Structure 1
Amino acid sequence: MSLFLSSFPSAVAHASLFIQNSSVTACCIVLMLVFSYKTDIEHIWHGWLTVLCYAVVIILADIANLASTALTITIQKDWIVVITGENRSHLAGMNATVRRMDQIINIFAPLSVGQVMTWASNVVGCGFILGWNLVSLLVEFIFLSKVYQMVPQLAIKPQQPIGEHYIERQLELLNVQGNFQLNTEVRAHMVRRMLRICTDGWKSYYRQSVFLAGLGLAFLYTTVLGFDCITTGYAYTQGISGSLLSLLMAVSAISGLMGTFLFTRLRRHYGLMVTGIISSCLHVCCLMLCVFSVFAPGSPFDLGIFSVLMGVNSSINMGELEQSQVHLYPPHRNMNQPILPDRSSIHWTNNTVLLENIHTGDHPDSYISIILLFLGVILARIGLWSFDLTVTQLLQENIPESERGVVNGVQSSMNYLMDLVHFIMVILAPQPQQFGLLVIISTLFVIAGHTMYFSYTRKYKAMEKE
């Protein structure tokens, strides 16, 4: 995906926008059909048509996410740099403004859709998303075209540094000699050349002066300390209601907005490097509250469950395991139940569906643990977003224009890879009693990421002295 970002900025932006909105539109249509004819669909092919529909929805969502990533890299990592030119203060302000817009939209857009689904139906909600998606496609396409026309520098093809041949290799893939009769040898040659291009991209990422800063940012993605489905599920097991979680997510978004304002002020007074150091320290200090919550009263943390699940201690039977899971109520449903409960019980947030009538866990003996956990998560957003903006601007300022698309594409791949690691962690430790271990491991990953940034700043200062 990232291979063509540096070469064809306008084509990538418009194509990504079209693919993203088309995928979302198709996904809405499939979901509308599933919601409207669910009973009939479940009896076709012994229920396999339902599975096929779910698979299509997931594939379309992945395609939309991939196109969204390409569009984000093009606009937020490339176009913004070209538009602001050499004015670093303007670049910092524009980065912060874009991030604030993202935070605000992530609050109000899903809530507006949730209101439609709550008071109307899931079908009407999907129709609302479909219509809004088509309108936004037209508006975004016009705005992108206007910006591209107003800034002539965006149309200038970046000059390649000596020794780099990304564009030529890409064109060679598209202009294979012959009369479209590709034999096995030619196909193997194309595969080797594509692998070489990918390898060159990773090598280019590694050669960048800001490599450690970017890798440190990627390490922050390996964490359960955020308002995702994992932390939300754990909160349910601790007796936290969906309405309270919605409020906490809104407060978390406000905390993220505060981080963008903190970034601009710190950078103005202390510079970009020091801003990253202060943001890192603030982030880690706030996450210490989450670590304290693991050992605070009311925490279900119990490493003894590992011996139960692995069968190490034969004297403990499954009956004792069930008794120890006083906070866990796994959902049960069959194929004839609806995908979601009655629409009156649904609350929609920026990234999670909260169910009002879901069976939450028994109330713990103390709420000190869960309070410390969410207090740490919410306050940590201030330092997190400030640090994210710091590394983002470092990447924008220090990556050569000809390699900007490739390197930012690799950076996004690293972010997704580290995000995948945290899901693997949850698979290996899925019980609420094990969540405390995930909190500790997540904090260690965050500390490792910030340590990489400190190493980068130390290396940068050493280079300045020379």
Structure 2
Amino acid sequence: NALFLLLAAARISLIVQNLSIAVCAAAVYFVIIYKSEIETQWPDYGLQTLCYAGIILIAVIAQLASTGNTIAVEKDWIAEICGTDKDLLATTSAILKSIDLITNIVAPIATGQIMTYASTEIGAIFIGGWNVISVFVEYYLLWKVYTVVPALRAVKDKCVVDKDIENQESGKCASCMKGLLGSFLTLIRGWKTFMKYEVAFAGLGLASLYMTVLGFDNITVGFAYTQGINESIMGGLMAAGALVGILGTIIYPRMRKCIGQQRTGLFGLTSQLAFLTLCVASVWAKGSPFDLNYASKASESDDVLDTNSTAFPPLFNSTSIPPLFNNTTPVPFNDTSLSESETWEDYISVGLLMTGIIGARCGLWIADLTITQLFLEASWEQEVERVRVKIH
């Protein structure tokens, strides 16, 4: 049925994403509950390491599915819904990104407080249960959008009409696609098609941006934990980053009308790089773990104030975690029992890093929306030209 063809990509990616997160949360829960048994099953924490590897693999699958869902809805669907109205496309893209960032405000705050003041186990149950329930709501909303917008179904009707032509083209290399080199050949054809776009280099710039950008990903969050920031504070920082990102989505459509699409993108990239210099400066700031004297200072602070072990030994060594925001034993801000060796200056480095990441969110999303719109406009213009040539 042609009605389900365009919906299939969004549907499959949505289900895989939510269920993968639920399975990952369940795995984390059981690893925490049976931590002592898992540690002693195999020598050298072998079973524990295997469990961590499985959790990471499931998380990667969830992330890939999330990316697929984003491409299907925020890239393909939105172009068909807005048609040739570039202003509507810019505004709608900004609204969708704002909705995404709003969820990034609520989710970290909720889970951060639960994991800090209840327990990590309850936090895992909450995340897993939420994703199981939300998959039905999200699927229903996708279905409503698909059925309400005729343009989405019209795209697939056109594709069905051209099915014979596509089959003829794909039949020429059917034997190759079945071979081991099928994926490689598909990649080559994709790159050839991609480089034909006038905005191909802008797309490469966006890809490079995401390869180098600092964000609140697993590595950054894990690093922040080793610097003594607990889940509650981390959730607040992630929410602050989302708020700054929302500011970027608000600025983008207005700035685009004032100074144009390209200048808006350049402004976004410049703003992002300016804030990221704070992250570079954090490497040499006081309290940086890259300081040659950091290890000795951490050992001295551990002699003064004994910190509790973390939830996942031996991956995280508690002696490297300053006691101020230790995630297992939060210390009130007005506590005067801190050792003299631990001062607020020891947190300048991680503070600069977090400030740079949060501030860069505005420019990041301005640049992202700009380059994405350039691609959507180019794709639409190319499609119009293809139809015009076919008619004549």
Give TM-score, length-normalised by structure 2. 0.73
CA distance in 2 between counterparts of 1:79 and 1:62 reads 25
Spell out, residue by residue over 1:377-409, the C-alpha distance to the aligned partner (whole angstroms, 9 max, x if none): 433322221111111111111125999xxxxxx
Choose which of 39, 62, 65 in structure 2 pairs with 1:64.
Answer: 62
Offset of residue 28 of structure 1: 2.9
* Conserved 8 A contact 1:298-1:370: no
The alignment partner of 2:134 has SS state of helix
Offset of residue 82 of structure 1: 0.7
Q: Does 1:274 align with 2:263?
A: yes
- CA, structure 1 residues 81+327, in 2 after alignment: closer, same or farther (shift >3 Å)? farther
CA distance in 1 between counterparts of 2:196 and 2:326 reads 44
Offset of residue 340 of structure 1: 7.6
CA distance in 2 between counterparts of 1:339 and 1:399 reads 48
1:112 partner amino acid: A
Q: Does 1:391 align with 2:371?
A: yes
1:355 partner amino acid: N
CA distance in 2 between counterparts of 1:292 and 1:115 reads 30
* Conserved 8 A contact 1:100-1:260: yes
Offset of residue 266 of structure 1: 0.2
Q: Quote the residue 1:18 is aligned against.
A: 15
2:181 partner amino acid: R
1:67 partner amino acid: A
The alignment partner of 1:399 has SS state of helix
Q: Does 1:149 align with 2:147?
A: yes
CA distance in 1 between counterparts of 2:159 and 2:295 reads 61
The alignment partner of 2:210 has SS state of coil
Spell out, residue by residue over 1:24-62, the C-alpha distance to the aligned partner (whole angstroms, 9 max, x if none): 232233333333333334444555443443333222222
Spell out, residue by residue over 1:335-367, the C-alpha distance to the aligned partner (whole angstroms, 9 max, x if none): x974289xxxxxxxxxxx982549999547687
2:286 partner amino acid: G
Offset of residue 223 of structure 1: 3.3
Counting only pairs closer than 5 Å after superposition, residues 367-406 of structure 1 correspond to structure 2 as 373-399=353-379
Q: Quote the residue 1:104 is aligned against.
A: 102
CA distance in 2 between counterparts of 1:189 and 1:394 reads 35
Identify which range, 120-129 or 227-236, moves more after superposition.
227-236
Q: Quote the residue 1:298 is aligned against.
A: 286
Q: Quote the residue 1:451 is aligned against.
A: none
Q: Quote the residue 2:199 is aligned against.
A: 210
Identify which range, 14-23 or 361-370, moves more after superposition.
361-370
The alignment partner of 2:181 has SS state of helix
* Conserved 8 A contact 1:293-1:373: yes
* Conserved 8 A contact 2:112-2:234: no
CA distance in 2 between counterparts of 1:53 and 1:380 reads 35
Offset of residue 108 of structure 1: 1.0
* Conserved 8 A contact 2:245-2:365: yes
Q: Quote the residue 2:37 is aligned against.
A: 40
Q: Does 1:339 align with 2:327?
A: no
Spell out, residue by residue over 1:276-318, the C-alpha distance to the aligned partner (whole angstroms, 9 max, x if none): 12223333333445555666x637598xx9xxxxxxxxxxxxx
The alignment partner of 2:12 has SS state of helix
Identify which range, 68-77 or 47-56, moves more after superposition.
47-56
2:25 partner amino acid: C
1:198 partner amino acid: L
Counting only pairs closer than 5 Å after superposition, residues 54-453 of structure 1 correspond to structure 2 as 54-155=52-153, 156-157=155-156, 190-223=179-212, 225-228=214-217, 230-231=219-220, 246-291=235-280, 298=286, 323=293, 325-326=295-296, 338-339=311-312, 355=327, 357=329, 362-363=342-343, 373-399=353-379
CA distance in 2 between counterparts of 1:366 and 1:280 reads 31
- CA, structure 1 residues 69+34, in 2 after alignment: closer, same or farther (shift >3 Å)? same
* Conserved 8 A contact 1:20-1:64: yes
Spell out, residue by residue over 1:105-155, the C-alpha distance to the aligned partner (whole angstroms, 9 max, x if none): 112113223333344433333332232222111111111112111122212
* Conserved 8 A contact 1:242-1:354: no
- CA, structure 1 residues 354+247, in 2 after alignment: closer, same or farther (shift >3 Å)? farther
Percent identity for Structure 1 against Structure 2: 39
Spell out, residue by residue over 1:190-210, the C-alpha distance to the aligned partner (whole angstroms, 9 max, x if none): 223332112101221222111
CA distance in 1 between counterparts of 2:172 and 2:289 reads 57
- CA, structure 1 residues 38+79, in 2 after alignment: closer, same or farther (shift >3 Å)? same
Q: Per chain length, whose mean CA-contact separation is higher, i.e. which structure has more relative contact order (CA < 8 Å, sep 6+)?
A: 1
Of Structure 1 and Structure 2, the greater helix share is in 2
Q: Could you list the runs of 5+ residues in structure 1 that have no partner in the other structure?
A: 1-6, 177-185, 306-320, 342-352, 404-466
Identify which range, 103-112 or 77-86, moves more after superposition.
103-112
CA distance in 1 between counterparts of 2:115 and 2:345 reads 36
- CA, structure 1 residues 245+54, in 2 after alignment: closer, same or farther (shift >3 Å)? closer
2:377 partner amino acid: E
* Conserved 8 A contact 1:293-1:368: yes
- CA, structure 1 residues 101+192, in 2 after alignment: closer, same or farther (shift >3 Å)? same
CA distance in 2 between counterparts of 1:354 and 1:133 reads 29
1:389 partner amino acid: L
* Conserved 8 A contact 2:29-2:125: yes
